[in-house]
Structure formats: structure tokens, C-alpha cells
Amino acid sequence: MPEYEKLRPLSNIKWRTVFWAVILAYFVNNVLWPKIVISGLRYTIKNVRPGECHKVKGLVNCEDVVIDRSSGIAILSCDSNRRQWNPVMGIVPKGGIQKSGELYAYDVNEPSHKPQRLSTPDFVREFHPLGLSLYTLPDKTTLLYAINLANVGFSIEIFSVHLHNATLKHERTISHPLITTPNSITVVNDSTFYVTNDHGFPSGFLHALETYLGLPLSNVVYYSDGQASVVATGLVHANGITLDHEKKRMYVSESLAGRVSVYRVDRSGSLEHDSSVDVGFVTDNLDLDPATGDVTIAGHPKPLALVAFAKWGAGPSGSIVKRIKERSINDGKVAKDDQNNWDVQTVFEDDGNFHPASSTGAFVKRKDGTTRMIMTSLYGEDALTDCSTDNL
């Protein structure tokens, strides 16, 4: 037998070995290692503060906060039933839960005042608010858009805000077949908005599988005058969403990828991916500071601790807040074709003993000229923290 024929089987073995080694290396580098990083197993939580912080008493389990920056009034979505009802995390007991969640107003200019619950006298249906967005009409009427994760069906509820008597007047309900697992919303005008669907599968085993495998099945939906279309796909748990002041750039939090994806917005409302910013933790909601253009990202450095905290009350669950700012291409430090020209700054970090499970962070300038940062806790009592920014 010729010598080269004797070597052929060995050669095949070598090629198979190389092939599977490449597959294994790809899996470890692109699938397993990112999951280890985002799990926070190797991360040590530090103690970082933007300045002196104090807890605001009286709020429980507050997911989102939006701010009317002309008045300094923040509106918060809270739900004292979140441990019993949280469809995002797959906590959905049969029959739902009867008691509804709550909306509160907090005056950043008067931190000594207690948050005021906003009543909804003409809205008596089941209400579990999640993501929020504000829009001001030309006549100065402020509209609040609230995602409602009710057992009877998910929807967007629109209220006009009347702070003089602490009420919200229900204006209308919006639902659409494409809005299946709504999480966060950002409004363009009174009849147009973007909303994230955080899962491709709305419930059950496949919903849980999608979560724990970090499958890229979520999306962003554009809604305008009764019509809707999917404008971004392939996202890994799309969560917070916010539009820049000029309405030309969109930011979307991909929770289980630990990043913020940035899109260009065209006149038709469609989105074109521009860049991604890795922040290294499970991201939650976003807030854009119109004064600086910075985007604030709150989230969870230890997501497995968050699951234990949410489902069984085992704690604490840590918190982290960062903000991102794009570097100017004119400062001589970056190249025009570089898609990762972002400065990432940690502004708050805590092991959860002071402020657990951060879900939203936002900077706001008070009437006295000072800037504050406020944060919500997805789970926990006294679920709002108010900080100075003297250390930034």
C-alpha cells in the first residue's frame, strides 16, 4: 500500500479535530464567555456615588421614571404586586392578580415632600404599569403614555396629567397585534411612538428558554395613527428605549447582551443600526438628558441575584448606573469610521444594601441650578433614591 494512503485517515482525523476545535473556540468566545461576563459571576461590586444620596420614603417596586424637566416633576410607575405578577420575568400566576399598580409624582425641587400618588378616577380596569413616556401638546397639556401589563391583555394607556389635583384623566387605550410583549416606550408625537417587545415568545417554556439562552428574538415596533411595523429585529431582550432631542437617533437597551444599540431614524420612522455600546451588565431603562445628550443606563450587575430577589425575596440584588457620551470626531482622538467612539462612565454602584435592583436612572437640573440624579428600584421598599452630583 502506498505510504500516502496510510496517512490519509490520520489526515482526516486532523481536519475533524481542527474543525471541532474551531467550533468550540467560536462557542466559548462568542456564546459562553459573553454569558459568563453578563452573569456578573466574576464581577466585584464597588461602592460608587455621584454625591450624597438619600432614600425617598413611601414607594415600593418602582420600574420606570420620566421627568417633565420644565417643572422638575418626575412620574414613577410602581407596583407593590410585582413579586406576584411580573410577565417580563415569567411570574404569571393563573388568574392574574386583582390589585393594580400605582403611579406617583415626585418633585425633584422639593425633596422633603413625599411622593404623591396620582389617582385615575375614570380608569378602573386592571393596571400594572411598566414603561413610561411623556409628551407635551401645543396647548401645554402633558400626556403620559404607560405600558400596562394587565392579565386581560397588554396595552398602552394614555392619560392627560393634572398635577394640581393629582389626577390622571384617561384619554385612550392602544393595542396592536405587533405589540406583544411591550416593555418600554418613547413618544414622537401624540399619535406616534416606538415600543420595545422584550421577548419573541410571550409566555411559557419558550419564553423562559429565550431568557436564559439570551436568544435574539425581541424587536422594536413603530406605531403611528393606528398602523404599526417592526423596525428593528434580532435584539437580545430589548428593554429601555429613548429618542434624542432632535428625533434623529434612537437608543435601545439590549438587556441580556449588556449593550445599548444606537440607530439612525429616517423620516419614515424606520431605523438603521449605527453602532453598539457595550456596558458590561444587564441593562434596564434608558434616559436621555436633553441638556447634554448623555444617555443614562441603569441595570443589574448580578442578574442571578436579581432573579432570586424577585422570586423569593433573597437578597440583596445590586445596582449599577452608567452614562454614555459620544466623542466628537473633531477632537482629534477618534476616527470617522470608528463605530465605538463612546465614553462610558460609572456614576452609581451599590451591592443592594442601600439601593437594590436599579431599573432607571436620570439626571435633572433643579430650579436652584444644581443637578440631581434620581434612581428607581425594580424591587424593594423606599424604591427611589435622590443623589447630588457633587462628585462628578
Which residues are documented as binding site for Ca(2+)? 64, 132, 183, 239, 284-285
Taking the C-alpha atoms of residue 7 and residue 137, their distance in angstroms, rounded to an integer, is 79
**Cβ neighbours around 205 below 10 Å, total:** 9
Q: Which three-class secondary structure state does DSSP give residue 63?
A: strand
Alpha carbon 328 to chain centroid, angstroms: 26
Give the distance from CA 184 to its chain's centroid.
7
Q: What's the rounded Cα separation, in Å, for the pair 130 and 38?
A: 23
Contacts of 50 (CB under 8 A, 6+ apart): 347, 348, 373, 387, 388, 389, 390, 391, 392
* Distance between CA atoms of residues 137 and 254, nearest Å: 30
Question: Could you give the CA distance from residue 310 to residue 210 in angstroms, rounded to a whole number?
Answer: 18
For 346, the 3-state DSSP assignment is strand
> Which of 150, 139, 141, 24 is CA-nearest to residue 95?
150
**What is d(CA 319, CA 356) in angstroms, rounded to the nearest whole number?**
6
Binding site per annotation, positions = 64, 132, 183, 239, 284-285
Rg (CA), the chain: 23
